[in-house]
Amino acid sequence: MTLKGDVTTEQSSKSRQASRRLTASDINVVDQRMLKKALGGTVVGNTMEWYDVGVFGYLITTMGPVFLPEADRSVQTLFLLGTFAATFIARPIGGVVFGWLGDKVGRQKVLAATLMLMAASTFAVGLLPGYAQIGVWAAALLVLLKLVQGFSTGGEYAGATTFVCEYAPDKRRGFFASFLDMGSYIGFALGAATVSVLQVTLGEAAMEEWGWRLPFLVAGPLGLIAIYFRNKIEESPQFQAALDAQESAAVEAAAGDAAVAKGPVGIIARYWRPIVLAMILAGAANTVGYALTSYMPTYLTESKGYDPVHGTLLTIPVLVVMSLCIPLTGRLSDRIGRRPVLWIGAGSTVLFAVPAFTLIGIGEIWSTLAGLSLVAFPVTFYVANLASALPALFPTSSRYSGMGIAYNFSVAIFGGTTPFLIQGMIEATGDDMAPAYYLMGTSVIGAIAIYFLRESARRPLPGSMPSVDTEEEAQELIASQHTWR
């Protein structure tokens, strides 16, 4: 059974719902087989994206001498962290371009294209010549390829969350969407584990000479597998219904719908309030997330005296346990709401940041693991719910664009720059607690945004009719329409 009569704005959706009673043809009954296929096809892309993030983050101390052998160690580290941050300069551009395309030609086609570009650019990093072969051009080419990666990933997360949210039933949207971030952190852990195995088996000298290339080259076959699965998924039923509705000018005119926002400028003009709200929430969550994933190995190595192998290995078990807990917090948000779970994420960041870095500062393995766990705790509550909370801020006709703009600009400003900013703060102040203060500040701002966030759990997405698991649930909804109006 397919969804019909999609509208272009949340306001017009409400007016339609108020003007007539629901019928069976209005309600989308989720095809469970297609839902599982869609979920798997999107999760593999997120896993692939974060595999690259993990590999690059854990090889920063190894790759420095490869691309800038004549520079000081601190300059090498800052260059690689800056290169990592540079990828996020291109992410907003990718978010705008792919978001517009995703709302115009479809989510599935664009997600296939972003994955191909992402896998190819990651593979190409493994083929780069070093400073010894072409001098400073090696570093320039590395930055260029990371910019290409950033451009492609700009359309990945926004499209994946949009796609899964449009496929999932309303009552379990948080649970299914949370698998995207579980896949992200599993991908990061896989990247970290790959680097760790190579560091242990090859040794530091071999890693600097040629071993650092292997994790990037693995992205080639992994990407082909991921592309195969992604090409097997079909367009989301809600987006297809939106296309059907927009093709019928008579239906649009009769319903009195406002014109669909045209292009990125139109999207920003119409939805600037939810865009700002989404940017703040994504910024607060990703600051903590990137501090744990992309910066912590460097922090443990550069500031706490761990060797690169232990700096990598200590974070892997924390990431794996956290990944497995993410669907649990997603399910929790379906029960008690997105806002309460996000409150836990923001509040625990403020409460745990100083104790976490204090424990890490003790320098023992047990205390480091405990400190990393305190950083991971709020990430679990933050990220599991952004995947379902943020797409619910935008109507179907503009969801991919709105998410692409809001999420990627936020990550570019707050997320990807976190490792670089924190390391710079430590270098400037000499205070190893600077990361804790930074995380606390961003989460205080995030808590203010949560206050203004409209609850979306167990409700239809804006611009869409209800989506349910079974025919029986559809009939119950028809019989008690007042519960969702």
Q: Could you report the per-residue pLDDT of 177-202, keeping only the tens digit for each? A: 999 999 988 988 888 889 888 988 99
Each residue's pLDDT tens digit, 459-475: 999 978 888 888 888 88
94 confidence band (pLDDT: 50, 70, 90): very high
For residue 17, pLDDT over 90 is answered with no
Distance CA 359, CA 379 (A): 18
pLDDT for the residue 204: 83
Distance CA 99, CA 346 (A): 28
246 confidence band (pLDDT: 50, 70, 90): low
- Pick from 90, 69, 72, 95: which is nearest to 161 by CA? 95
For residue 116, pLDDT over 80 is answered with yes
Distance CA 162, CA 159 (A): 5
Q: Where are the domains of the chain?
A: 27-237+261-483
110 confidence band (pLDDT: 50, 70, 90): very high
- If you compute the radius of gyration of the chain from its CA atoms, what whole number of angstroms results? 23
For residue 299, pLDDT over 90 is answered with no
Q: Which residues pair with 468 in a beta bridge?
A: 29
**144 phi/psi in degrees, rounded to 5:** -60, -45
353-360 average pLDDT score: 94
For residue 257, pLDDT over 70 is answered with no
pLDDT for the residue 342: 97
16 confidence band (pLDDT: 50, 70, 90): very low
pLDDT for the residue 421: 82
pTM: 0.84
The residue type found at 330 is G
32-57 average pLDDT score: 85
For residue 482, pLDDT over 80 is answered with no
pLDDT for the residue 455: 96
pLDDT for the residue 242: 66
For residue 55, pLDDT over 50 is answered with yes
pLDDT for the residue 244: 64
- Average pLDDT over the chain reads 85
Query: Of 67-76, 163-172, 195-204, 247-256, where does mean pLDDT reach its minimum?
Result: 247-256
- Pick from 273, 275, 379, 265: which is nearest to 319 by CA? 379
pLDDT for the residue 441: 95
CATH 3.30.460.80 assigned to 27-237+261-483: no
Looking from the CA of 296 toward its CB, the CA atoms found within 13 Å total 33
For residue 240, pLDDT over 90 is answered with no
N-term to C-term CA, the chain: 21
- 427 vs 69, which has greater pLDDT? 69
DSSP symbols for 246-303? HH-HHHHHHHTPPPPPPHHHHHHHHHHHHHHHHHHHHHHHHHHHHIIIIIHHHHHHHT
3 confidence band (pLDDT: 50, 70, 90): very low
pLDDT for the residue 253: 41
226-231 average pLDDT score: 85
For residue 120, pLDDT over 60 is answered with yes
